[in-house]
Structure 1
Amino acid sequence: MESDVYCDRCGNELGGASGGDHAACRTARALEPPRYCARCRRRMVVQVTPAGWTARCSEHGTIASS
């Protein structure tokens, strides 16, 4: 299983020298769906409904809110 390498909100690398601080991203993600695949950095197709959201990566499939 691959681990998350990229921020699913801004698309930048997690950790390391170029990763920066993603505190603002974590705060925002509490209220909004992911926009980038955390494994490959592809922009995802996101659908928001009153019941929740789904986000689909063409390479890694679909994730949904719980």
Structure 2
Amino acid sequence: MTTTGLWCDRCGRSTGDGSHNSCAAARVLEPPRFCPQCRRRMKVQVVPTGWSAVCVEHGETHQ
């Protein structure tokens, strides 16, 4: 889970809203689904070598 933003990049809820331990555990295997800066749902593409996620406001993140 990305903790530098205001929002959880897996569930989309505020990072200050309770524990996100299950989100952090799931993010080990999954790509992010929400932009941690603006909470928008991202376009995610998974390929055999990794993943990329694109926010219309903040651009692309990839592994």
**Same fold by TM-score greater than 0.5:** yes
Identical-pair percentage: 55
Distance in 2, matches of 1:20 and 1:59, equals 26
State whether structure 2 residue 10 is matched by structure 1 residue 12.
Answer: no
Distance in 2, matches of 1:58 and 1:28, equals 24
What is the CA RMSD across the aligned residues, in angstroms? 0.6
After the TM superposition, which residues 26-37 of structure 1 pair with which residues of structure 2 at under 5 Å, given as runs?
26-37=24-35
Larger Rg: 1
Say how many residue pairs are matched: 60
SS at match of 2:45: strand
4+ runs deviating over 6 angstroms: none
- Runs of 5+ consecutive residues of structure 1 not aligned to the other structure: none
Tell me the equivalent position of 1:53. Answer: 51
Higher helix share: 1
SS at match of 1:34: coil
CA-CA distance at 1:20 after TM superposition: 1.2
